[in-house]
Structure 1
Amino acid sequence: MAAQFQTTPLSDALVILGAAGIVIPAFARFRVSPVIGFILVGVLAGPKGLGSLVGEHPWLGYLTITNPHAIEPFAEFGIILLLFSIGLELSFKRLWGMRRLVFGLGAAELLLSALIVGGALFLLGQSWGGAAGLGLALALSSTALVLPMVGTTGPVGRSAFAMLLFEDLAIVPIIFFLGALAPQASGEGWMALARTIVLGAAVIGAMLVLGRLLLPRLFGQAARTKSPELFLSVSLLVVIVASLASAAVGLSAIVGAIVAGILIAETDYSNEVEVITAPFRGLALGVFLITVGMGLDVRQVAAQWEILLLALVAIVMIKAAVTFGLLRLSGARKAVAAETGLLMASPSETTLIVLTTAMAAGLISAETASFWTVVTALGLTITPLLARIGRDAARRVDVGADLDAPPQDLGEATPRVVVIGFGRVGRLVADMLTNHGRAYIAVDSNIDNVAAARRAGFPILFGDVSRPEMMDRLHLGHATALVLTMDDPVLTVRLTKKVRAWCPGLTIVARARDAGHAAELYRAGATDAVPETLEASLQLSEAVLVELGIAMGPVIASIHEKRAELRKEIMEHGDLEQEPALGRRRLRDALKQG
Structure 2
Amino acid sequence: MAIALLYNVLIFLVAAVLIVPLVKRLGLGEVLGYLVAGVVIGPSALGLVPDADAVLQFSQVGIVFLLFVIGLELKPARLKLMRKAVFHFGSLQVAVTTTLLTGLALLAGLSPAAALVVGFSLGLCSTPLVLQLLGERGELGSRHGRYAFALLLFQDIAAIPVLAAIPLLAGGASLGGDWTHLLAEVLIAVGAFVGLIVGGRYLLRPLFRFAAGTRSREVFAGTALLVVIGAALLMELAGLSMALGAFIAGVLLADSEYRHSIEADIEPFRGLLLGLFFMAVGMTAQIGLLAEKPGLALGLAAGLLAAKWLAMTLSARLYRRDWKTALNLGALLSQGGEFGFVLLTAAGAAGLLDASLVGLLVLVVSLSMAATPVLFLLHARLIRPLLKADRPRRDYDRPPPIGPQIIIAGFGRFGQIMGRILQGLKIPYTVLDSNAERVDVVRRYGNDIYFGDASRLDLLEAAGADKARVMVVAIGDIETSMRIVQRVKRRFPHLRVYARARDRYHAQLLMRAEVTYIIRELLPASLELTREVLVGVGISREQASHTVETFRPHDERALKRQLEVFGNKREQIQTIQQAARELEELFEADEDIATTAPERPPERRGTT
* TM-score bracket relative to the smaller structure: 0.5 to 0.7
Aligned twin of 1:234: 223
Structure 2 residue 33 is matched with structure 1 residue 37: yes
**Structure 1 gaps, min length 5:** 1-5, 52-63, 407-412, 416-424, 441-475, 484-494, 514-525, 533-594
- Partner of 2:468, secondary structure, is strand
Q: Report the CA distance between 1:298 and its aligned residue.
A: 2.5
The 3 A distance-change label for structure 1 pair 400 and 204 is same
Name 1:167's counterpart in structure 2.
155
Structure 1 segment 149-298 matched on structure 2, within 5 A: 149-150=133-134, 152-187=140-175, 188-298=177-287
Distance 2:172 2:304 in 1: 30
Does structure 1 conserve the Cα–Cα contact (< 8 Å) formed by 2:19 and 2:36? no
| Distance change >3 Å, CA 478–CA 232, structure 1 → 2 | farther
TM-score of the superposition, structure 2-length normalised?
0.65
Q: Indicate conservation of the 8 Å contact 2:31/2:132, yes or no.
A: no
SS of 1:50 mapped into structure 2? coil
Distance (whole Å) between structure 2 residues aligned to residue 212 and residue 50 of structure 1: 48
Alignment of 1:92-103 (within 5 A): 92-103=76-87
d(CA) in 2 for partners of 1:264 and 1:333?
A: 34
Structure 1 residues 531 and 122: alpha-carbon distance in aligned structure 2, compared to 1, 3 A threshold: closer
Structure 2 counterpart of 1:129, one-letter code: A
Q: Within 2, Cα distance between the matches of 1:281 and 1:14?
A: 19
Which one-letter code corresponds to 1:479 in the other structure? G
8 Å contact 1:343–1:390 — kept in the other structure?
A: no
2:366 corresponds, among 355, 364, 377, to 377
Secondary structure of the corresponding residue to residue 49 of structure 1? coil
CA contact (8 A) 1:480 1:507 kept: no
* Letter of the 1:267 counterpart: S
Q: 1-side partners of 2:160 and 2:293: how far apart?
A: 32
AA partner of residue 87 (structure 1): G
Is this contact kept in 2: 1:150–1:156, CA < 8 A? Answer: no
Equivalent residue in structure 2 for 1:24, among 17, 20, 31: 20
1:574-593 aligned at under 5 Å gives the runs none
Conservation of the 8 A alpha-carbon contact between 1:178 and 1:358: yes
Contact 1:138 1:348 in 2 (8 A): yes
CA distance in 2, matches of 1:136, 1:530: 57
Report if aligned partners of 2:96, 2:315 keep a CA contact under 8 Å in 1.
Answer: no
Output aligned runs, 1:286-435, within 5 Å. Answer: 286-392=275-381, 395-402=384-391, 404=393, 435=414
Say if 1:439 and 1:196 are closer, same or farther in 2 by CA, change over 3 A.
farther
User: Which letter maps to 1:157?
Assistant: G
For 2:469, which of 486, 500, 511 is the aligned residue? Answer: 511
CA change 1:480–1:225 in 2 (3 A) is: same
| Shift in CA distance, 50/322, structure 1 to aligned 2, threshold 3 Å | same
Residue number among 55, 79, 87 corresponding to 2:71 in the alignment: 87
Q: Which of 102, 105, 108 does residue 118 from structure 1 map onto?
A: 102
Query: Do 2:28 and 2:377's aligned partners in 1 also have CA atoms closer than 8 Å?
Result: no
Measured in 2, the distance between the counterparts of 1:368 and 1:232 equals 44
Kindly provide the CA deviation profile for residues 301-342 of structure 1, in whole angstroms up to 9, marking residues without a partner as x: 123221212211111111111111221222222111101111
Deviation at 1:240, TM superposition (A): 0.8
Q: Aligned partners of 2:453 and 2:243: how far apart in 1?
A: 39
Separation in structure 1 between the aligned mates of residue 180 and residue 53 of structure 2, nearest angstrom: 32
Q: What is the aligned length?
A: 436
**Counterparts of 2:104 and 2:460, CA distance in 1:** 58
CA deviation after TM superposition for structure 1 residue 222, in Å: 2.6
SS of structure 2 residue aligned to 1:31: coil
Q: Distance in 2 between matches of 1:481 and 1:81?
A: 27
Distance 1:131 1:298 in 2: 25
| Residues 248-304 of structure 1: CA deviation (Å, up to 9, x unaligned) | 221121111111111111212222222221111111112211221112232321232
Question: How far does residue 393 in structure 1 lie from its aligned partner after superposition?
Answer: 5.4
Distance 1:340 1:512, change over 3 A: closer
Change (3 A) 1:531 1:211: closer
Deviation at 1:31, TM superposition (A): 2.9
Identity between Structure 1 and Structure 2 (%): 31
Aligned residue runs from structure 1 range 440-451, under 5 A: none
- Over 3 Å counting, the alpha-carbon distance change for 1:512 and 1:90 in structure 2 is closer
Query: Unaligned regions of 5+ residues in structure 2, if any?
Result: 399-404, 420-448, 472-491, 499-608
Supply the distance in 1 between the matched residues of 2:104 and 2:146 (Cα, whole angstroms): 30
Contact 1:12-1:67 within 8 A present in 2 as well: no
CA contact (8 A) 1:335 1:397 kept: no
Q: Is the 8 A contact 1:176 1:189 kept in 2?
A: no
Which residue is equivalent to 1:130? Answer: 114
CA contact (8 A) 1:338 1:393 kept: no
- CA distance in 1: counterparts of 2:89 and 2:411, whole angstroms: 47
One-letter amino acid of the structure 2 residue matched with residue 199 of structure 1: I
| Residue 90 to residue 305, structure 1, CA distance change in 2 (3 Å) | same
RMSD over aligned CA atoms reads: 3.6
What amino acid maps onto 1:124 in structure 2? A
SS in 2 for 1:288: helix
Give yes or no for contact 1:481–1:507 (8 Å, CA) kept in 2. no
Q: What is the CA–CA distance in structure 2 between the aligned matches of 1:160 and 1:166, rounded to whole Å?
A: 10
2:452 aligned residue (472, 479, 500):
479
Once the 2 structures are TM-superposed, how far is the Cα of residue 153 of structure 1 from its aligned partner?
2.5
One-letter amino acid of the structure 2 residue matched with residue 332 of structure 1? R
Instruction: Return the alpha-carbon distance in structure 2 between the equivalents of residues 430 and 31 of structure 1.
Output: 34
Shift in alpha-carbon separation, 1:66–1:431, aligned structure 2, 3 A: closer
Moved more, 387-396 or 429-438: 429-438
Check whether the contact 2:59–2:274 (CA below 8 A) recurs between aligned residues.
Answer: yes
Does structure 2 retain, via aligned residues, the 8 Å contact 1:75–1:287? yes
Looking at structure 2, the residues matched to 531 and 343 of structure 1 have their Cα atoms a distance apart, in angstroms, of 42
Are 1:433 and 1:439, in contact at CA under 8 Å, matched by a contact in 2? no
The one-letter amino acid paired with 2:239 is G
Could you tell me which residue of structure 2 aligns to residue 60 of structure 1? none
Equivalent residues of 1:510, 1:530 under 8 A apart: no
